[in-house]
Structure 1
């Protein structure tokens, strides 16, 4: 159950204090905690050492060796620089996204050569508890299963500024895409490589409403929320490390912290978005 919260700049919903928590386990997946995040009963869940060290090294090597790894030069409003392998639905039409996902499918499969797919392992575990678990679709064409991202410039305070993951599902460019039926996003993140002490996640206990998004000009992107407007909201930090799995309530405002140096870049993330559309568990990238 959520409660209404207000501030001069941000309005929305907050989790009760006993649910705005990070739950952690070591090595073993607690599927009940994943379901708590998926259903909005927990802010975040982290599994330390979910991926063995040898597989982390293989995944990292595969990413940097891939000829399909492409730079994102921070063009447009968000200014985010990164290397990406795989397709992203953000700011694309449904057709363009699904075409990109199809084009990237073999490259994403190759990323997992010599290692298991940890995101697929999580989804398989969830599938045993849910009626339907599948990739989001449109006209028989499937969304991507995962993507890999390495952000640049982690010497800044934020690798990725505060944002929410629900707003982007309202983009008119994807009005025909079934993910727009989803009302709560669970982001799935796996970390093959995290330079020590950098790339941590920060969550704030507020899920912004449309009034806030409209006022801040982020109606269909949820990006970025000015950090200074979040000081009145409770926050927590997820100290991610190499080999970790983390699932978070993506409706809550969250950010990726920087604080490294140019010589220490290299935080590698495997990720996808998930959510419930009725009784169907869907994923996309």
Structure 2
């Protein structure tokens, strides 16, 4: 059960202390812990060295060698500076996102030339327990399998400011898209490259409610929550490293920590959002 909490400017649901935890394993995937995150019984689960070093090197090389890698530059203190391979649904209509996903499908497949797809392996394991695991769809078209992202603004306090993942799935631009039926997001992250000591995840034990998002002007973005408004909420850090797989409760506010130097190519992430539709179908976008 979740309980209601009231804090200055951000209200919502919190996990009981025994659920707001990070579970870790080495190498092998513990599918029960993944299901715990998916169903809101655990904040985060990390598999250390899920992807072998040689595979990580191949994925990283393929990313930087790809002619389809796109730079994305933000503006001002809240901007995101990144390189992206694959389609992102953020700020796009359902039609435009699904067309972008179709256009990027071959480029994403080429990312895995000479390597295996760790997100696909996770989905295979989940399918053995859930039954139906598939991309979110709309009018016969499907979401992309994943995307690869590298933020290159390591010198800031945050590579990515505090945010939640559920809000951005409610964008009216994507009305009718199947993923909007998800009520709890499990973010899937795989790390082919993490510079030492940088790019760690920070989670806060608060899943903001609609009232808080509206008050902060974040109703359909969930980004960014002012860090100073999170000081009253318990937090934990996930110390991700090269080769790790991490799944997190994406309804909780979370951020990516920076603090390094931009001299070294930064944290490379393979990612997608997943969630249950009607408690029996796992979809992703």
Q: What's 2:93 paired with? A: 93
Distance in 1 between the 2:277 and 2:146 partners? Answer: 19
Where in structure 1 do 4 or more consecutive aligned residues deviate above 2 Å?
A: 75-78
Shift of 1:78: 4.6
Matches within 5 A, 1:265-276: 265-276=265-276
Q: What's 1:281 paired with? A: 282
Q: What's 2:64 paired with? A: 64
Distance in 1 between the 2:265 and 2:11 partners? Answer: 35
Distance in 2 between the 1:262 and 1:47 partners? Answer: 27
Shift of 1:132: 1.2
Is 1:82 paired with 2:57? no
Matches within 5 A, 1:101-120: 101-120=101-120
Distance in 1 between the 2:262 and 2:142 partners? Answer: 37
Structure 2 unaligned regions, length at least 5:
none
Shift of 1:44: 0.1
TM-score (norm. length: structure 1): 0.98
Shift of 1:77: 9.3
Q: How many residues align?
A: 284
Please give the per-residue CA displacement for 1:54-97, whole angstroms capped at 9, x wherever unaligned.
00000000000000000011159951110000000111000000
Structure 1 unaligned regions, length at least 5:
none
Shift of 1:26: 0.1
Contact 1:78 1:223 in 2 (8 A): no
Higher deviation after alignment, 257-266 or 244-253: 257-266
Distance in 2 between the 1:191 and 1:8 partners? Answer: 34
Matches within 5 A, 1:216-235: 216-235=216-235
Distance in 1 between the 2:30 and 2:197 partners? Answer: 25
Q: What's 1:146 paired with? A: 146
Distance in 2 between the 1:252 and 1:75 partners? Answer: 26
Pairwise CA RMSD of aligned residues?
A: 1.0
Distance in 1 between the 2:114 and 2:71 partners? Answer: 24
Shift of 1:115: 0.2
Contact 1:145 1:272 in 2 (8 A): yes
Distance in 1 between the 2:8 and 2:270 partners? Answer: 36
Shift of 1:264: 2.4
Distance in 2 between the 1:229 and 1:155 partners? Answer: 23
